[in-house]
Amino acid sequence: MKLSRSIGSFLLGVWLVLNGLSHLIHFGFPGMGMVMAVLAIGAGVLIILGV
């Protein structure tokens, strides 16, 4: 079975993993807030567009 995933879903998955790690084990780096915001906006736009 071949699984197809959109770029938006992949970015959403990355955002969820990073967000979970940052809260669970206090993982972080300088500028993480900006990276998380860009990932969230990018994933949201791509999902809405259906890419």
Cβ(46)–Cβ(7) below 8 Å: yes
If one counts every other C-beta atom within 10 angstroms of the C-beta of residue 11, the result is 20
Cβ(13)–Cβ(40) below 8 Å: no
**pLDDT given at position 1:** 41
Using one digit for the tens of pLDDT, what is the confidence trace for 1-51? 445 568 888 888 888 888 888 888 987 789 888 988 998 888 888 888 887
Cβ(27)–Cβ(21) below 8 Å: yes
**pLDDT given at position 21:** 87
Q: Report how far residue 16's alpha carbon sits from residue 30's, in angstroms, rounded to the nearest whole number.
A: 18
Domains of the chain, residue spans: 7-49
**pLDDT given at position 48:** 85
Task: Record the pTM.
Answer: 0.72
